[in-house]
Amino acid sequence: MNRVALDLPAPAKLNLFLRVLGRRQDGYHDLRTAFIAIDLADTIDFEVLDQSRYERLGDLTGPAQDDLAVRAARLLAQRSGCTLGARIEVRKRIPVGAGLGGGSSDAATTLLALNRLWRLGWTREQLAALALELGADVPFFLQRGAALGEGVGELLSPLRVPPRWYAVIHPQVHVSTVEIFSAPELTEHLNQARICGFSANAAQEDSIAIETGGCEAGVNELEPIVRRRVPEVDAAIRYLSGFGSARMTGSGAAVFAAFETPEQARRAILGVPAKWSAWALAGLQEHPLAPW
């Protein structure tokens, strides 16, 4: 047995906008967001093993058994009845706790790769149902392109987003998603939203954000909470706002602004502090593994 797949990409994502519509009975939150993949990716090597063995090599951000790629492999084997295993080696480029979806993308690439290497023949729809058990963002990374996400982010519909380049800054801090979604300020926001309703202006802003590739309008309703709690995120947004309409992605800590040319995106990150990470990245019209 020598089935391998090398250097498979697991791209990061941006949320062009993110609205929190309400808290669900299961403790999660209903969201409305626009996802787009960007040209920053972890890369993963896979090798099929026998006897349901799983080996996790490369960069790790915690215990191997908790790694999302390993969890994805085990879950796929369990649900499919496959008795094979896998060696998974991840080379991380996407920072952890940045709102860029690195772990979720690793899990999705693992599902796609092992579905092929184990010769299971599952459809993307079957894989997406499984992906939701691993995390709310994981199903997006099984989409072929940009998507509007609703529910907890799993109700996905294709979006047409114009070509854009993104200046992305990670101010080298970790933001806890659980902490932000548990913040009292979010409860206050939701109570106010119930009084006011989801306004037509908000829906119009979201449409503009999609149509312009995130260049104008659009909001991230978690952003004010994070900015008050994490000064580095506030500083990164203030810096990038000098070049365009800047906002946070996901629950932070990364922030971005969209531009029409790569030169504009590169210019925006030239003066960032040395302690920050920054990239000028293309928005991907198609996921690198879309043909799979």
42, 67, 106, 137: the catalytic one is 137
On the question of pLDDT at 187 being above 80, the answer is no
The confidence band for 197, taking pLDDT boundaries of 50, 70 and 90, is: low
User: Is the distance from CB of 56 to CB of 21 less than 8 angstroms?
Assistant: no
State the Cα–Cα distance between residues 275 and 25, nearest whole angstrom. 41
User: Is residue 289 left, alpha or beta, with left meaning phi > 0 and alpha meaning psi from -120 to 50?
Assistant: alpha
State the Cα–Cα distance between residues 147 and 33, nearest whole angstrom. 8
CA pseudo-torsion sign 21, 244, 232, 135:
positive
pLDDT of residue 51: 87
Active site residue 137: yes
On the question of pLDDT at 174 being above 90, the answer is yes
- Taking residue 18's Cβ as centre, other Cβ atoms within 10 Å add up to 26
On the question of pLDDT at 61 being above 90, the answer is no
- What's phi and psi for 282, nearest 5 deg? -80, 140
On the question of pLDDT at 200 being above 70, the answer is no
On the question of pLDDT at 196 being above 60, the answer is no
pLDDT of residue 73: 98
Q: What is the pLDDT of residues 124-144, one digit of tens each?
A: 999 999 999 999 999 999 999
Percent of all residues in the chain with a pLDDT value above 90, rounded to a whole number: 81
User: Is residue 9 left, alpha or beta, with left meaning phi > 0 and alpha meaning psi from -120 to 50?
Assistant: beta
Residue range 257-285: mean pLDDT, rounded: 97
The confidence band for 189, taking pLDDT boundaries of 50, 70 and 90, is: confident
pLDDT of residue 173: 96
Q: What is the pLDDT of residues 32-47, one digit of tens each?
A: 999 999 999 999 999 9
13, 92, 106, 234: the catalytic one is 13
Active site residue 42: no
On the question of pLDDT at 195 being above 60, the answer is no
Whether pTM > 0.85 for this model: the answer is: yes
Least confident range from 127-141, 152-166, 170-184, 205-219: namely 205-219
On the question of pLDDT at 213 being above 90, the answer is no
Q: Which domains does the chain have, with CATH numbers?
A: 4-158 (3.30.230.10), 165-282 (3.30.70.890)
